[in-house]
Chains A and B, each alone.
Chain A
Amino acid sequence: MLQPHSLLWHYLWVAPSVLLLGLAGRMRWLCLHKKFPLFFTLAIVSAIEQLTLYACDLAPSVGAITWWEIFWAGLLVEGILKFALVGEIFARVFNAYSSIAQLGRLVILGVGVALVLTAAFFAVRAPQDSLFEIVNGAHLLEQTIYLVEAGLLVVIFLLSSYFSLFLDRPLFGIALGMSFSALVHLATWAVAANAGLPPPKRVILDFVNMATYHVCVLIWFYYLLVPREVTTKSAVPLPENNLDVWNRELERLVHP
């Protein structure tokens, strides 16, 4: 069952991309694409990229080198989109509050630089694991992208949980799916890039990656499309004169 070109293999490669296109369509229908334009774009680009790679894998006319070149191109475009989306998530969480926006920017900048340096160090230290330079480079680029992406997302979760900031449901779902995907892919690509498994067993990593991606798509479906139970809170408006009196009381409290 866990063999290339098995039924499960075909399903795990194609189904998440088809579901993602469906999610993008539904987002457009609900006008969510205006609220999350980068995620909407990433969903379409990722789905098209994976379906193209799948078709190229099956087509006998496409050679191995061409397949890896397409993979590289898709990886670069997807990487840029992912970092832009991480930036958007960060801005939505922290820019709303002026008191911690500056601190958040400093932390994310510092961590970002540290992650890029760590990723570069890991890439330099990684052994040559493939006969083809293009394959080896792809593994290292994947490891680098996922290391930086996962690190930044974990820091966003750390800061928001320390400051008890409540991410709204769709944004939390997007960040959750991306983090889950980035962390699992980081682990699998690190094993692949550092020759952790003999080539015949590498297919297991492909299955883990594809299954993880499928789970992430389902997470996005759940958080973006399943509505949350809404609790209404009644707040009583305060008459203007009472507000003035109250402000004077506050003044006395702050400056006794």
Chain B
Amino acid sequence: MKTSQLCVLPVPKHKKLIRDLSKNYQLYLLLAPALIYLAIFKYGPLYGLQIAFKKYALSLGIGGSPWVGLQHFRTFFSSPQFSRVLVNTLALSFYELVVSFPLPIVLALMLNQLRSVRYKNYLENVFYIPHFISVVVLVGMLNTFTSVQGGLINNIVALFGGDRINFMGESSMFRNLYVFSGVWKNTGWNAIIFTAALSGIDPTLHEAAKVDGAGKLAQIWHIDIPGIMPTIMIMFVSAVGNVMSIGFEKAFLMQNYMNIGTSEIIATYVYKVGLQRAQYDYATAIGLFNNVVNLILLVTANTFSKKMTKTGLW
């Protein structure tokens, strides 16, 4: 596109297109597998989204099934499940956002203050380890650690004279366990981006601040945090953009009949309705509702971020 400015003779638009395409046809060959993948597995399902507005019959296929308009959405909004799964989803995701978004920033700021580079690297490597543990194993660890008989956490509770609690069976504990096991797993890993941003701050700013008599806390507040603000905002917008796509896997694995009151979120509900009860059309409608709410949140967060700090995802 930029090279076209170098052309001396004006070329008709369609000829220019053909020339550009043929000049770099080998690049399109390299890109082709990715485009085919996108078309089939990312844009293909968008075609299937229409069954959210249809009465899906296997024999008629996606295209041939009759339209029913907004019927599935009406059914969902008026069902007793609606408010429960929506509240659970929003409560869980905003709780997670509020707790687990700032912590990696704090950790990165703290690591940045360490004077021994070797110690800093060592600590970072330790903090990354849990990131590589699978969700299945993480939930397995939660189960064993919170086990009433001999679980590590209950042993600690008992050591201080408390009563053993069946954490996984308490509805009220589900969100705490969900969020804080996530904090344990991901904080170190998520701090990498902020560590990278901090290393890009001009060291002369700190020198100057020192001369002016600023203490460590003042330096963090007036130099480090403003310095990584663009990164913080971008990460914040993508975090908000993923609020509704909160992990199906973990909630599903942690779920049992005792904590279902708080652990049933939209994603797990879609799985049950769609794949266990095979109500494909209804489940697709619920999933679409989820996606649209997500998109609205993302756009709102991005607009907000652009107004406040002039940085955004687009």
Q: Decide if A and B are genuine partners.
A: no
Q: Which B residues contact A (CB, under 8 angstroms)?
A: none
Interface of A toward B, CB cutoff 8 Å = none
